[in-house]
Amino acid sequence: MLIQFNAYLIPYIIGISITLVLAIIILRSKSGKNYRLTSLLLISCTVWMLGCALEILNTSLIGKIIFGRIQYFGISTVPLLFFLLTMEYAGFAWRLKKERIIALSIIPAASLVLFLTNNIHSLMWKNEVIHSSGLLTVLSVNDYGAAFWVWTSFSYILLFISTIFLFFIFASRYRFFRLQAIALISALIFAWAIKILYVFKLIPLIKFDLTPIAVSFFSLVLVFGFTYLKIGEIVPINYESIIGSIKDGVIVLDKEGRINFLNKQAQDLFSNGRDFIGKPIDYIWHDYSINFTEDELEVEKDVMINTHQEDRYFNISVSILKISSMEIGGRLIVIRDITERKKSEEKIKYISFHDNLTDLYNRAYFDEELKRLDRERQLPLSIIIGDVNGLKLINDGFGHKKGDLLLRKCAKVLVKSCRSEDIICRWGGDEFAIFLPKTQEEEAEEIVERIRLGCIDQENKKLPLSISLGVATKTEHLQNLQKVIKSAEDGMYRRKLVERNSISNSILSAFSRALFEKGLENEKHTYRVSSLSRRIGKAINLSENQLNNLSLLSLLHDIGKVAIAENVLMKKGELTKEETRMVRRHTIIGYNIAKSTIQLAHIADEILYHHEWWNGHGYPHKLKGDSIPINSRIIAVVDAYDVMANGAPYKKATSKKKAVEIIKGLSGVQFDPVLVEIFIEILEGLGEDYLEEIEKYEVFQLVKEESSISI
């Protein structure tokens, strides 16, 4: 293979070096579609020039044909890549979908195949000869085929469109963008012109293609454009792309209110496939004239529009378009969907004025309505103030979830008992307030009675519901509304004093029922503990009042267990540390329940300390010896014995003999040794038939009479 070298190789080597180095730099350090396309374009130019250089170096026909084919890997892709780069640069890339790019690639791909296989079919060119100019020997094509002209025409069309877009940028943009456009146009036209001169043989003395030399210049201009002029970073965007990218709907009207332009978002909003241009705005938006008048030159409103069978909220901005400082050319309408914002605002507003537990209005709304309703036209204005009875007792005994359930039940009764125009508010933790505009006090009393009957309907439920209510009415405009509210509140408190014992009894009964229903206690166990405890009490000469307290304690010492999870209380295996901690809380819960109730307040301490040990190792306060209340010590002995001797849901029964032995073993440790000795003597005196005698003992009737508790 013969090699020749001459001065014509120097521009190729320079061009190859520039394009290859620049392509590598851009690929490694720059991101963005412009830079990726530029890198591919420069690589294609490098391949093109490399093929030309190798063709000049080689003097054999076969060598020239082989290297001549190599350059077409670059030639076939340069026009398409430059076209894509121009479209991206000019802001029209959004028009080139993936399928369109594939379609544009078909002719370059087919041409490349035909270039490589031309010897078989001669569709690209028909005659290839070696021509010597005296300076170098080149492969000269003298007769082009039909496929060549198809590819050439397609390439020039792409380059022509690219030039048009670049001239558009030059003519309609700022000076900086004009300089960018000049750089790209210069690179394109110089290489394009040289190629045309060669293909059409317009310069007869030139026997070889000088286009690669022009491509070298093209590469130098690109280096200047992409470094100094930042073509890959700062690019002009056409107005159509901007409008198309805006998420808001945009409508342009002329002076007569006819549609000049709609972007896609506006068209989708009104969902009408007909032609809009030239039609009045009311043609697509029937309510436009209702919301916006000609007198309002610039206005912004929130408007509801039914679109796609759905009501949505939009912020509509209408502004004037001026041809000059004096002449109005039309209007610009910008439509922004604010449905989600509206929903959020409504949600925030709802939350700010509603109680999230009962869904009634809250205190903030009450205060707002107070100002609105304190008007003469609302008279007579009646106000009902209510307070749920025993809520603290329910919270202490059953837990706050049950207390919340009671409040929700109360809210439902209030809503059901009141009229639609009445305003019901949760005024405080367990307090409710009701505004009754244009309502006489007699009518308000009827509503109070409906509420009372509604609460009675709930009596068969596990949670008894009671609400004390007070009513007052403002009949004259000069009356102080705050004093009227205070009068209703005073009436509520008087009613509460009257109903206090009754509701406490109902709640305590509910606690007792809960213990029995859950299987945490049973009546026989309670009978036995009560009877044996009283016998010990009499043996140590307790007063009748102390004995009655002892009977009451035997019934309710474990009342705090109603708030402990059943699966923990009924667990038959060993408890975990956390479960043990939960169970031990029942003494504190029971104490809180008792303290909240007049009928049980006097035995609250005895409930709290009935699990203290004689040696100080009990709970919750580790009291020891005589510092533990006597009744707590008595219950501790009797309750422990009965659970061992007769069993419990969580524990199997043992023999009475073994139970006595265990009690003796814990004397002076867990139990009061004196009380243990007395208790064993009582058991021995009763014998095996003591159960029958205990069950005949009417302790519950006695406790009921003494404490007024319905159990």
pLDDT digits (tens, 9 = 90+) for 645-678: 887 766 777 888 898 899 999 999 999 999 999 9
Structure tokens given for 449: 């009675």
CA distance 438 to 422: 10
- pLDDT of the residue at 602: 85
pLDDT digits (tens, 9 = 90+) for 232-263: 677 777 666 677 677 888 888 888 888 888 88
pLDDT digits (tens, 9 = 90+) for 341-387: 888 888 888 888 999 899 999 998 998 888 888 888 889 999 999 99
Q: For residue 441, give the 3-state DSSP assignment.
A: helix
Name which of 34-38, 414-418, 680-684 the model is least confident about: 34-38
Which residue shows structure tokens 């093929």?
A: 51
Q: How confident is the model at residue 709 (pLDDT cuts 50, 70, 90)?
A: very low
Name which of 21-25, 293-297, 627-631 the model is least confident about: 293-297
Q: For residue 253, give the 3-state DSSP assignment.
A: strand
- What is the DSSP code (8-state) at residue 472? E
**Is a pLDDT exceeding 70 seen at residue 556?**
yes
The C-alpha R_g of the chain, in whole angstroms, comes to 49
CA distance 242 to 240: 5
pLDDT digits (tens, 9 = 90+) for 443-473: 999 999 999 889 888 765 566 788 889 999 9
Contact 520, 559 (CB under 8 A): no
Name the strand (E) or helix (H) holding 488. Answer: helix 481-517
| More confidently predicted of 288 and 243 | 288
**Is a pLDDT exceeding 80 seen at residue 228?**
no
CA distance 582 to 207: 102
| Domains in the chain: boundaries | 9-227, 247-343, 354-502, 518-707
In Å, how far from its chain's centre is CA 399?
A: 30
CATH 1.10.3210.10 given to domain 518-707: yes
Q: How confident is the model at residue 180 (pLDDT cuts 50, 70, 90)?
A: confident
Q: How confident is the model at residue 59 (pLDDT cuts 50, 70, 90)?
A: confident
Calculated CA dihedral for residues 47, 52, 54, 55, nearest 10 degrees? 140
CA distance 230 to 234: 6
Q: How confident is the model at residue 707 (pLDDT cuts 50, 70, 90)?
A: very low
Strand partners, 385: 433, 470
- pLDDT of the residue at 647: 74
Q: How confident is the model at residue 23 (pLDDT cuts 50, 70, 90)?
A: confident
Q: How confident is the model at residue 620 (pLDDT cuts 50, 70, 90)?
A: very high
Q: How confident is the model at residue 702 (pLDDT cuts 50, 70, 90)?
A: very low
- pLDDT of the residue at 186: 82
CATH 3.30.450.20 given to domain 247-343: yes
- pLDDT of the residue at 501: 60
CATH 1.20.1070.10 given to domain 9-227: yes
Contact 111, 147 (CB under 8 A): yes
User: Which residues, at least 6 apart from 323, have a Cβ–Cβ distance to it below 8 Å?
Assistant: 329
Q: How confident is the model at residue 436 (pLDDT cuts 50, 70, 90)?
A: very high
- pLDDT of the residue at 414: 94
- pLDDT of the residue at 598: 72
Region label for 309, one of left (φ > 0), alpha (ψ between -120 and 50) or beta (otherwise):
left
- pLDDT of the residue at 56: 77
- pLDDT of the residue at 666: 92
- pLDDT of the residue at 600: 78
- pLDDT of the residue at 211: 72
Name which of 46-55, 289-298, 308-317, 507-516 the model is least confident about: 507-516
**What is the number of other CB atoms lying within 10 angstroms of the CB of residue 46?**
22
Name which of 315-329, 398-412, 482-496 the model is least confident about: 315-329
| More confidently predicted of 164 and 398 | 164
**Is a pLDDT exceeding 90 seen at residue 499?**
no
Angle 291-293-294 from CA coordinates, rounded to 5° = 155
CATH 3.30.70.270 given to domain 354-502: yes
- pLDDT of the residue at 701: 42
| More confidently predicted of 108 and 54 | 108
Tally DSSP H helices, then E strands, for the chain: 29, 11
**Is a pLDDT exceeding 80 seen at residue 83?**
yes
Q: How confident is the model at residue 296 (pLDDT cuts 50, 70, 90)?
A: low
Q: How confident is the model at residue 708 (pLDDT cuts 50, 70, 90)?
A: very low
- pLDDT of the residue at 518: 60
**Is a pLDDT exceeding 90 seen at residue 82?**
no
**Closest to 451 measured CA to CA, from 474, 438, 432, 426:** 432
Contact 188, 159 (CB under 8 A): yes
Q: What are phi and psi of 376, to 5 degrees?
A: -65, -35
Cα–Cα separations (whole angstroms), residue 210 to 3, 19, 69, 213: 20, 17, 17, 5
Mean pLDDT of 27-37: 75
For the chain, the average pLDDT equals: 81
**Is a pLDDT exceeding 50 seen at residue 32?**
yes
| More confidently predicted of 393 and 94 | 393
Q: How confident is the model at residue 2 (pLDDT cuts 50, 70, 90)?
A: low
Contact 143, 126 (CB under 8 A): yes
| More confidently predicted of 435 and 575 | 435
Q: How confident is the model at residue 700 (pLDDT cuts 50, 70, 90)?
A: very low
